[in-house]
Amino acid sequence: MKLTDEEKAILEGSEGLARQKAMDLLVRYGEALGAERLVDTNNVCVSVTAGAYSTKRPELKESDIDASLSRMYLDSDEPFEIPKTKVYTCRLIREMDPEYWEIQGIDPTRHEINLLTEKVCSRIGMQLMHSCTPYLLGNVPVMGEHCAWIESSAVIYCNSVLGGRTNIEGMESATASMLTGKTPYWGYHLNENRLGTHLVEVEYQPESVMDWGLLGYYVGEIVQEHVPVINGVRKVPNIARLKHHGAAAASSGGVEMYHVVGFTPEAHSLEQAFGKNKPAATLKFGKAERREAYDNLTSATDSTVDFIMLGCPHYTLEEVWNAARLLESRRVHSGANLWIFTPRALKTIADQEGLTDIITKAGAVLMTDTCPCISHISPKNVKTAATDSAKHAHYMPAMLGFPTWFGSQQDCIEAAVTGKWRGEI
Ligand code: F3S
């Protein structure tokens, strides 16, 4: 890999041991990927989770968190204090809600370790967004901006909807980028890799959030790690629709970028979306394909539902507002739990607007900072779950062991209120 003089100096230790280790990790990582060089970034998203540390050590100190980070994230046998971030860095999802951690089943030791980890993240200058949707919180990369983001649903949104450029980074590479302001120049940083590979002709017009989730889930399963170009959409999607669509495609396949002709910024036309590429295959999305995606996503058979999860990826304020409207003057069934997830900053607004109050009075909980699949949290003794997220419907059975229904937000809230699943497509 070709390095600039500045990069060589950091690799030789000019900026201290932590940045030297970070640069060494990026060079090894980049060379393994075939990157010819590094590129500057001033936009890093990473999660620093407490799960990496022993939960049996209530006497843990800040220096222990530093030591774990240097060993596990920066591959150093020699422990060191993590210095300040070199570039703008957002901390994404973490392991618990700051207010409802006991309801989530987090034990006091794990809670303490989480607080200590947050203290370290704050000390080094990370932006404590605590969400998988940094783009809802003001981190909105501009067209062509090079980023180093973890979290597949955020990455696909960044690449596809915003025109930012990032691969799905790991904790280690993103931490190294945070300390150096560099990331390997490969994958979705390069123009040619952002061109479409598969054409998807839409015969069933996606309108609802659920439709967009099903479309993403269907397409992702077929194209896997390629770049689908969705053609024929007539109605403008919104943030929630594209958020769910990308999260679904990244779950059933490994899609990191898609185009919707006429709506996403690198696909004003089919010609622009494909550039020099010829489609490797043409798919259609009609009624039968929509049904197939729905059936593949549905793992539950028992209509009695006891856990309803909303907010994957974390809900927009519009989604929280709509959930509150559906719950107003109603009550969650005594045998059911309704957990709704949104970024903490948006919950502050929901608090001010009275939305949190409506949700709480209905017996649901508006949570922040985390989610069931990332933290393996859930109410006790769940038998059957339901969600409006194709991503969570995909992961919940495998990661938490619950058969899961997939449906619209309205289906899910009706299930929460009645304790019965009656959703359909
Ligand atoms: Fe976010 Fe958790 Fe879903 S990190 S995308 S709410 S699985």
pLDDT digits 0-9 by tens, 134-164: 999 999 999 999 999 999 999 999 999 999 9
Q: Is the CB of 241 under 6 A from ligand 1?
A: no
Distance (Å, whole) CA 211 – CA 294: 10
What's the average model confidence in pLDDT over 36-43?
98
For position 47, what pLDDT does the model report? 92
Mutate to test the pocket of ligand 1, among 93, 339, 340, 342 (most ligand atoms within 8 A of CB): 93
Q: Is the CB of 309 under 6 A from ligand 1?
A: no
Report the nearest-CA residue for atom 4 of ligand 1.
132
For position 56, what pLDDT does the model report? 58
If pLDDT is split at 50, 70 and 90, which confidence band does 53 have? low
Q: Is the CB of 373 under 6 A from ligand 1?
A: yes
Percentage, residues of the chain above pLDDT 70: 98
If pLDDT is split at 50, 70 and 90, which confidence band does 223 have? very high
Q: Is the CB of 94 under 6 A from ligand 1?
A: no
Report the nearest-CA residue for atom 7 of ligand 1.
373
The residues, ordered by sequence, that sit 6+ positions from 89 with a Cβ below 8 Å of its Cβ are 44, 45, 46, 125, 126, 127, 178
Cα 20 to middle of ligand 1, angstroms: 32
Report the nearest-CA residue for atom 6 of ligand 1.
312
Q: Is the CB of 391 under 6 A from ligand 1?
A: yes
Report the nearest-CA residue for atom 2 of ligand 1.
371
- Is residue 353 predicted with pLDDT exceeding 80? yes
In Å, the largest CA–CA distance within the chain is 65
For position 54, what pLDDT does the model report? 59
Q: Is the CB of 209 under 6 A from ligand 1?
A: no
For position 231, what pLDDT does the model report? 98
Question: Is the Cβ–Cβ distance between 71 and 352 less than 8 Å?
Answer: no
Cα 313 to middle of ligand 1, angstroms: 5
- Kindly report the backbone phi and psi dihedral angles of residue 89, in degrees, each rounded to the nearest multiple of 5, phi listed first: -135, 130
Q: Is the CB of 247 under 6 A from ligand 1?
A: yes
What's the average model confidence in pLDDT over 243-247?
98
Structure-block tokens of residue 71: 């060993």
- Which of ligand 1's atoms lies nearest the C-alpha of 395? 7
If pLDDT is split at 50, 70 and 90, which confidence band does 55 have? low
Report the nearest-CA residue for atom 5 of ligand 1.
313
pTM (predicted TM-score): 0.97
For position 281, what pLDDT does the model report? 98
Structure-block tokens of residue 78: 């020699």
What's the average model confidence in pLDDT over 407-418?
98
Q: Is the CB of 259 under 6 A from ligand 1?
A: no
What is the average pLDDT score of the chain? 96
Cα 79 to middle of ligand 1, angstroms: 31
For position 60, what pLDDT does the model report? 84
- Is residue 51 predicted with pLDDT exceeding 80? no
Distance (Å, whole) CA 142 – CA 185: 18
Q: Which of 341, 342, 339, 343 is nearest to 308 (CA)?
A: 339
For position 87, what pLDDT does the model report? 98
For position 20, what pLDDT does the model report? 98
Cα 178 to middle of ligand 1, angstroms: 22
Report the nearest-CA residue for atom 1 of ligand 1.
313
Q: Which of 45, 28, 55 is nearest to 171 (CA)?
A: 45
- Amino acid at residue number 194: R
Question: Is the Cβ–Cβ distance between 162 and 144 less than 8 Å?
Answer: no
- Is residue 48 predicted with pLDDT exceeding 90? no
Q: Is the CB of 161 under 6 A from ligand 1?
A: no
Distance (Å, whole) CA 2 – CA 37: 5
pLDDT (tens digit, 9 = 90+) per residue, 67-79? 989 999 999 999 9
- Amino acid at residue number 289: E
Mutate to test the pocket of ligand 1, among 339, 366, 392 (most ligand atoms within 8 A of CB): 392
